[in-house]
Structure 1
Amino acid sequence: MSMMNLLLRNTINSNRSIQVGLPNQGLSLLLRDSRRHFSTTEAEVEQPTQDPPTNQFIQPVNKGFVYGKLFDTMHATKGYILNLLEGELTRDDIKVDYNRSFTPNGILIQFHSHSAFEYARKAIARKGRLFRLERVNPTRWDLLASYDGKAVLLQGIPRNALPDDVERFLSGCFYDASTLQFQTRQVQGLTDPIRFAVVRFRTQTEAMHCFITKNRGFCLNSQILLCVLQ
């Protein structure tokens, strides 16, 4: 009996050891997994954040043309405007805005940057000029013709004058006959509409020669007034 009791006691003790050991192993696994989880989280938290790379193509830049219109410049020439604004402008950056009767109602200017536009405004204020410079839509520049002193306006052409009559009037001048264009406009205060023409020359010198030699000349007994278009 004593031997049987001893075997029974050993079996009970062995079962208790197994029952006690199982929870300990589960707790150990849980703690190990927890340590692994917290270790990973800690590494993620301690990892320094990096700023996203800067894309130089999306940075704002001060480039591109800015267009302005100068008002109250009835008889101003391109040379006068270049001296007035003191900027890095050329004659190609200036266009005179003529109405349908070729009366100038302002000057359009193409500035190469916004800072150049602001500098021009300060130059006008510094010199005490009464001109007014305002920004305009770029489409106005594209639609405006540029004469640059190489075109002459003939005013007062008789209504019955033919192109041959005008060509005889311009004899001795080196102009481009294919550019001769006639127009008629009704002027307020006059009963009959006025007729005029525009003709282009190759150079400014040839246009000025036409103005000097032909201004106030006669075409079919009508006096013709000439004007060099800027």
Structure 2
Amino acid sequence: MAFVHEYLEGTLSEEETGRIKTWILDRIDTLTTGAPSPKFTECRHRGGALLITCADLTSVGWVKSELERAAPWEGAKLRFVEAKNLPKPVRAHAWIPGTPEEPAKVLKRIQIQNAGVETSNWRVVDRREDPKGQTLIVLMDQTSWDKLGAKCNHRPYVDFTRLTFKLLSKPKVAIEEETKMKCEEATVAEGPSEEPQPTASTSAPQ
């Protein structure tokens, strides 16, 4: 399952996911030996979400109860949803002319040079260089894609030019992500006792 922002989905930055991970570990540190404790098999940031795979239903219940008692930070509004219902990532590509720059630098410049465009949740999944520039293939959440369209018609300014982001017709990476998540769910479901549940989180502070 997943916990998401009460009003917005796919909006967790890596910094915010780090704060949630630290919050969970701090809550674990308050437990005493022998007390019911949570067990997790994986935790990763994906498409504006923090996906946490729980080892059993007890662990899912523990995270839920802790979240009901205290938010990870003041103003955070989180709720749970099934992991399979998380928004599917958008896969797009753009060619950037000129000497190839590090993808992180390109994304940061896009955010700075285009007011209202937020790139902190974008993830570069492929990079192809050629003599005249580079092509970046990016995964982003639907909210980011819609905002990119509303703010600059999917043609953000960067450096001394404008890029054109286009959707890829065959979202291979997105399919691989979904397949991986399904495999994880099937694997944990083979546990000897309670049926395990994957947990994910997307959030943004208010």
Same fold (TM over 0.5): no
Structure-2-length-normalised TM-score: 0.36
Q: Which has the higher contact order (CA 8 A, sep 6+)?
A: 2
Larger helix fraction of residues: 1
